[in-house]
């Protein structure tokens, strides 16, 4: 699949079943328009996204104004966050419940809010693991 294919997807359709499409999309970069669609359907503010991607809010404004394409590293992080977000909604069965969980300090995650882990690949992996445990009923 090509970038045009992923650009036409809604954020809910981005999943990890077509890994080659994800790889291709990362290599070509995520266009700002797709990022905007993803961001508007997430509970995260521009400030949070800039923290997750390690970009300043000013840089975000430039991306928006110039309709830029994110580089592969930022594109990969955007897709990783989208995948874990969609997985969380699936596990919790409700966007509101998952959003609340992301905001609540979690003992299993060292007493921090789950969303605070979205700024690193290791943190995203930890969230995926925790969601898998919740999905299978292992809450400890």
Neighbours of 130 (CB within 10 A): 21
At 136, list the tokens: 């299978």
Token representation of residue 117 = 């882990």
* 106 backbone dihedrals φ, ψ, rounded to 5°: -125, 120
Cα–Cα separations (whole angstroms), residue 85 to 1, 56, 61, 64, 116: 22, 22, 24, 23, 13
pLDDT digits (tens, 9 = 90+) for 20-75: 888 888 999 999 999 999 999 999 999 999 999 999 989 988 999 999 999 999 99
Confidence of residue 8 (pLDDT cuts 50, 70, 90): very low
> What ranges in 67-116 are assigned the alpha helix state H?
72-92, 95-103
Residues 78-132: tens digit of each pLDDT: 999 999 999 999 999 999 999 999 999 999 899 999 999 999 999 999 999 999 9
Q: Please give the pLDDT value at position 13.
A: 57
pLDDT at residue number 29: 94
């Amino acid at each position: 699949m090509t970038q045009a294919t992923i650009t036409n997807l809604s954020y809910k359709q981005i999943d990890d079943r077509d890994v080659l499409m994800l790889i291709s999309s990362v290599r070509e970069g995520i266009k700002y328009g797709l990022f905007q669609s993803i961001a508007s359907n997430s509970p995260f503010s521009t400030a949070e996204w800039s923290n997750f991607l390690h970009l300043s809010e000013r840089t975000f404004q430039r991306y928006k104004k110039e309709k830029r394409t994110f580089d592969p590293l930022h594109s990969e992080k955007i897709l990783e966050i989208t995948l874990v977000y969609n997985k969380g909604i699936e596990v919790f069965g409700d966007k509101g419940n998952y959003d609340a969980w992301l905001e609540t300090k979690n003992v299993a995650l060292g007493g921090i809010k789950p969303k605070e882990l979205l700024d690193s690949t290791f943190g995203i992996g930890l969230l995926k693991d925790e969601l898998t445990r919740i999905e299978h009923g292992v809450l400890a």
